Amino acid sequence: MGNLCHIYTDHKSLKYIFTQPELNMRQRRWLELIKDYNLEVHYHPGKANVVADALSRKQHVEPLLEEGFNLLHPVVLHNIVISCSLESQIIELQKSDPGIFHIKRKMQEQDTKHFRVDEKGVLWFDNRLVVPKDHDVHNKIIDEAHSSKLSIHLGSSKIYQDLKPRFWWTKMKKEIAAYVARCDTCCRVKAVHLKPAGLLQPLSVPGWKWEEISMDFIVGLPLTQKGHNSIWVIVDRLTKSAHFIPVHATYRPSDYAELYFSQIVRLHGVPRTIISIEVLSSLPAFGSTCIHSLVQNWFAIQPTILKPPDRLSV
């Protein structure tokens, strides 16, 4: 402790980690760890790092001996087989899973395009191993692809692309996205790349009643004797008085425009603004229909208004 330590790296940007004005969350976490040590970071190109590369190949351990025989002798042939314990666990679970039995029974009744059973009785979806409906196994597979030392907390899309060639189960992509969203490390370290939200912009106070209205629907109601199953709610933003108009979910924009003129415009006139978030999927068609009806009504009453009185003949 107290001695100056020199660190050589081929990552040039790390040379300025102590003087860099802006750091991301991961760099701040590493800076909090190394700030207690007396060290200096020096840049050394990777192609010139010959000495360190030679030291990494130095033999640090004694040769392994078993009954007086050198296992590291160049004449001896070694064979190391790496097998996945998850696959064997999945194959054992297939033997007792009711969902797997149901798929195999359907395969016997009719030919399937993607499912197949190999000579060992293992169920496959194309070339992907079918995973039974076991949330512990699902979480273990996702955890291996997300939180292991070789995966470095990847995103949901990258994890899905890594697991897709080997495993298959229903709602696989949805479960991966939910697992990544619950990861505490990702929530704390990974930065948010969205623009900061601005201040709220409240609506202005209306100047007069029924100049500005808002509308919404109450849907999913039982069918009435007149064939209505929804309620169209139209509220005045100033006085909060409302009209509740029974409608049907299959009404077209022309039907809503006709009801609007007969129930609202007839009593309160034409409003200046209409506020609606998710009311009408065809709101432009509703507006054009209202304008068309308004023009028709205007031309219908215009001759009566503008017609001069008949002059008396002398």
* pLDDT at res. 246: 93
CA 132 to chain centre: 25
HSE at residue 238, side-chain half, CA atoms within 13 A, is 12
Q: What CATH number has the domain spanning 212-301?
A: 3.30.420.10
Query: Where in the chain is CATH 1.10.340.70?
Result: 85-189
**Which residues in the chain are classed under CATH 3.30.420.10?**
212-301
Q: What is the pTM of this model?
A: 0.42
Please determine, looking at this structure, whether the domain spanning 85-189 carries the CATH number 1.10.260.30.
no
* pLDDT in 10s for each residue of the chain, 314 residues: 568 888 888 888 888 888 888 888 888 888 888 888 888 888 888 777 766 655 555 555 454 444 555 555 555 566 666 666 788 888 888 888 888 888 888 888 888 888 888 888 889 998 899 999 888 999 999 998 888 877 788 888 999 999 999 999 999 999 999 999 998 888 888 777 778 778 888 888 888 999 998 888 888 899 999 889 999 999 999 999 999 999 998 888 888 888 888 888 888 888 888 887 655 555 556 666 666 666 555 444 344 333 334 444 43
Residue 57: per-residue pLDDT: 57
For residues 253 and 280, give the distance between their C-alpha atoms in angstroms, rounded to a whole number: 8
| Identity of residue 9 | T
Residue 188, classified by CB atoms within 10 Å of its CB into exposed (0-12), middle (13-18) or buried (19+), is: exposed
Q: Pull the structure tokens for residue 297.
A: 């009504």
pLDDT at 291: 62
